[in-house]
């Protein structure tokens, strides 16, 4: 509770103390910084340098421009894909980029205490978790260990509503659905994030990374 109280108090002040220009000045500026970084990455013109001096400068604090909910997949690395330096992105990682209570609490901290201006739910093509959800949509109880608990959160509604006649399209549609679903869940399940979104201090978007090109495409409305 103490952390959340601190987060709530800090959010109240952070909204008024981020008047500088740059990617932390507004949600729109944060999203622009991410998309510009992705363009550099796709063009093989990334500029972020993680030097020892830059690392040392982050010892006392960090001021991320955005929080990213990414899949645990080893091919999904937001700092690389968005060409951002160490300290620039606050990361929540879970297979299938699903929204969990722990992710929500982490992002409330990122927004309320650290002043992040954007949240991105980052899906990706060829997602093993989504592919598993499609394959096991009627039989997730056959999966080992704790996997059914995770996969069930992707199955409904994103795997059930896809056309099984076209595997590639089916996977793509389910990945988009699963990422977009995360936006609504964050807003519905966090009063703090919903309030920040309502007042314009925060934007929450979803999108999908194409593993082949590296391009990140916004999929949420
Ligand atoms: Zn994945």
Give the Å distance between the CA of 59 and the centre of ligand 1. 31
**C-alpha neighbours within 13 Å on the C-beta side of residue 176:** 15
Give the Å distance between the CA of 176 and the centre of ligand 1. 12
Q: Answer yes or no: are the C-beta atoms of 38 and 80 closer than 8 Å.
A: no
pLDDT, tens digit, 9 for 90 and up, residues 80-118: 999 999 999 999 999 999 999 999 999 999 999 999 999
Q: Is residue 144 part of a domain?
A: yes
Helices assigned H by DSSP within the chain: 2-14, 27-42, 52-57, 78-81, 101-112, 128-135, 147-154, 167-189, 191-198
Q: Is residue 108 part of a domain?
A: yes
What is the token pair recorded at 132?
Answer: 């598993």
Unique residue bearing structure tokens 């205490």: 113
Which segment of 112-116, 117-121, 172-176, 196-200 scores lowest on mean pLDDT?
172-176
Query: Is residue 6's pLDDT more than 70?
Result: no
Q: Is residue 192 part of a domain?
A: yes
Q: How many domains does the chain have?
A: 1
Residue range of the domain that includes 198: 2-16+23-43+63-218
Query: Is residue 68's pLDDT more than 60?
Result: yes
Q: Is residue 157 part of a domain?
A: yes
Q: Is residue 52 part of a domain?
A: no
Give the Å distance between the CA of 167 and the centre of ligand 1. 16
Q: Answer yes or no: are the C-beta atoms of 149 and 96 closer than 8 Å.
A: no
Give the Å distance between the CA of 123 and the centre of ligand 1. 7
Q: Is residue 175 part of a domain?
A: yes
Q: Is residue 74 part of a domain?
A: yes
Q: Is residue 49 part of a domain?
A: no
pLDDT in the model for residue 9: 46
Alpha carbons 151 and 139: distance in angstroms, whole number: 10
Q: Tell me, what CATH number does 117's domain have?
A: 3.40.1050.10
The pTM for the full model equals: 0.89
């Amino acid at each position: 509770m103490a952390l959340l109280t601190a987060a709530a108090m800090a959010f109240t002040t952070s909204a008024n103390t981020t008047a500088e220009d740059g990617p932390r000045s507004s949600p729109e500026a944060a999203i622009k910084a991410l998309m510009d970084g992705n363009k550099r990455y796709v063009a093989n013109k990334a500029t972020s340098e993680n030097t020892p001096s830059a690392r040392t400068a982050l010892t006392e604090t960090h001021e991320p421009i955005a929080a990213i909910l990414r899949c645990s997949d080893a091919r999904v690395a937001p700092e690389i894909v968005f060409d951002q330096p160490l300290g620039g992105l606050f990361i929540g990682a879970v297979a299938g980029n699903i929204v969990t209570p722990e992710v929500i609490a982490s992002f409330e901290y990122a927004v309320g205490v650290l002043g992040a201006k954007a949240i991105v739910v980052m899906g990706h093509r060829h997602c093993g978790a989504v592919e598993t959800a499609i394959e096991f949509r009627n039989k997730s109880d056959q999966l080992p260990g704790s996997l059914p608990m995770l996969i069930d959160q992707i199955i409904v509604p994103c795997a059930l509503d896809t056309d099984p006649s076209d595997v590639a399209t089916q996977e793509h549609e389910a990945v988009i659905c699963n990422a977009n679903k995360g936006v609504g869940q964050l807003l519905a399940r966090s009063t703090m994030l919903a309030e920040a979104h309502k007042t314009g201090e925060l934007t929450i978007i979803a999108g999908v990374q194409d593993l082949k090109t590296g391009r990140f495409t916004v999929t949420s409305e």
